[in-house]
Amino acid sequence: MSFGPTANQSIASRAGVLRKRLGTTGPVKLVRAPGRVNLIGEHTDYNEGLVLPAAIDREFLILFEPWDRPEVQMTALDMDETRSFAFEGLSPETRGARSWIDYVAGTAWAMREAGLPIRGFRGVMQSTIPVGSGLSSSAALEMASTWALAVPGTPRPATGVMAAIAQRAENRYVGVNCGIMDQFASAAGEAGHALLIDCRTNTFKTTPMPADLSLVVCDTGSPHRLDASAYNTRRSECELGVKLIAEREPGVTALRDVDEEMLARNRDRLPEVVARRCEHVVKEDGRVMATVVALRDGDLDALGRLFAASHASLRDLYEVSSAELDAMVEIANEVPGVVASRMTGAGFGGCTVNLVRPGAEEALQDAVMANYGKRTGLTPRVFIVAAVEGAGEVELDA
């Protein structure tokens, strides 16, 4: 599949392409939703912990013509495919063969389940988010869908509530067991800011990205991804840790309630693997808070140490890194001007996230292009990205 327009094409020109494809002269609407990259806080969301993602300027667009029929007809330009679904009888039990339309239909289903009115439309969509690289194209599609399906004039729930509805679409309708971070980041983004999301309360604060740091994402191009069963195993290991610790520590319902001291005094109760998984999660929450402080203070040395510690913990304690991700981080760390580098996303394949001094982005890109393929036999991609505002409707010129 191709991505058609490149990321730096303006929304207006991408919308022009979509409008032609939709082929109407009537009134249309445009909604957008960004992908996201997580700066730090990995595998913490489903432990009711903290994450620090940013919405990035790789985005889904849906251009559509609302209609009165209780159904959606959508064309995915990147796939050159048109699919439709009716609102009547929509349910995970009656979902057909797997398709990208499931993310839209699932969002419609989850919105209705949450008591939100929805409206049908005929639309076209296109994205500049690479698929399956861990930049959350799926969550962006869901968040864009929430905006396209919403009935104008009806109150929109709080960002965290809307993100939870989209997460439910992915968990229950599509059948992918993900945490809430991806939908939340796509929904809540703010230009030039990262988002400190508390996955216990589903609330967030924005935190400014230092103006003298660039954000660079390196895609390992690895076909391996943390598969559903490995992800679910990690989740149940964390749950077992909580259960065993809670037998002695009243009030513990998630790893969020466990600090390093509590983990240390209960470690003998835990199978060795479970203890290591818990140690990663407990310390990763602390690294998220320390990263917020380091970003605020512009403490580049601290950022480098925190990213390195997170990567090492994901590699050695949580065991979700890979030779490719490790190689990508090693290559980045040798480039002058690279401040911090770590794997991002669930693991095995996907991307690394890098904080880079402005001017060093190309040196990083060159080093990756020169060395990564030699070390791994794979073709990398490098994206210089910026933090942007979250999903919403875009005003169109008449």
> Shortest Cβ distance from residue 138 to Mg ion (Å)?
3
Greatest alpha-carbon pair distance for the chain in Å reads: 69
> Shortest Cβ distance from residue 131 to ligand ADP (Å)?
4
Catalytic position from the list 45, 57, 182, 285: 182
> Shortest Cβ distance from residue 123 to ligand ADP (Å)?
12
> Of all residues in this chain, which one has the CB nearest to Mg ion in the complex?
138
Q: Does 167 bind Mg ion (CB under 5 A)?
A: no
Which of 238, 143, 182, 125 lies closest to 350, judged by CA? 182
The residue to which tokens 């693997």 are assigned: 273
> Shortest Cβ distance from residue 350 to ligand ADP (Å)?
7
Q: Does 78 bind ligand ADP (CB under 6 A)?
A: yes
User: Contact at 8 Å (CB) between 136 and 35?
Assistant: yes
Chain centroid to Cα 203, Å, comes to: 16
Residue positions counted in the chain: 398
Q: Which is nearer to ligand ADP, 136 or 354 (CB)?
A: 136
Q: Which is nearer to ligand ADP, 270 or 346 (CB)?
A: 346
Give the start-end residues of each E strand in 41-185. 50-66, 71-76, 81-86, 121-127
Query: Contacts with ligand ADP in 155-184 (CB under 6 A)?
Result: none
Considering CB distances under 5 to 8 angstroms, the limit depending on partner class, which of ligand ADP, Mg ion, none binds residue 134?
ligand ADP
DSSP alpha helix (H) spans, the chain: 11-22, 101-113, 137-149, 159-168, 181-188, 228-246, 260-266, 272-297, 300-316, 323-333, 361-376
Query: Contacts with Mg ion in 113-142 (CB under 5 A)?
Result: 138
Q: Does 322 bind Mg ion (CB under 5 A)?
A: no
Token pair belonging to 284: 């990763």
Q: Does 134 bind ligand ADP (CB under 6 A)?
A: yes
Interface map 7-46 toward Mg ion (x if CB under 5 A): ----------------------------------------
Establish whether 182 is a catalytic residue.
Answer: yes
Residue from 137, 266, 321, 371 binding ligand ADP (CB under 6 A): 137
CA distances from 388 to 6, 36, 63 (A): 17, 9, 20
User: Contact at 8 Å (CB) between 207 and 303?
Assistant: no
Residues 6+ apart with CB under 8 A from 91: 109
Binding site for ligand ADP (CB under 6 A): 76, 78-79, 100, 103, 127, 131-138, 141
Active site residues: 182
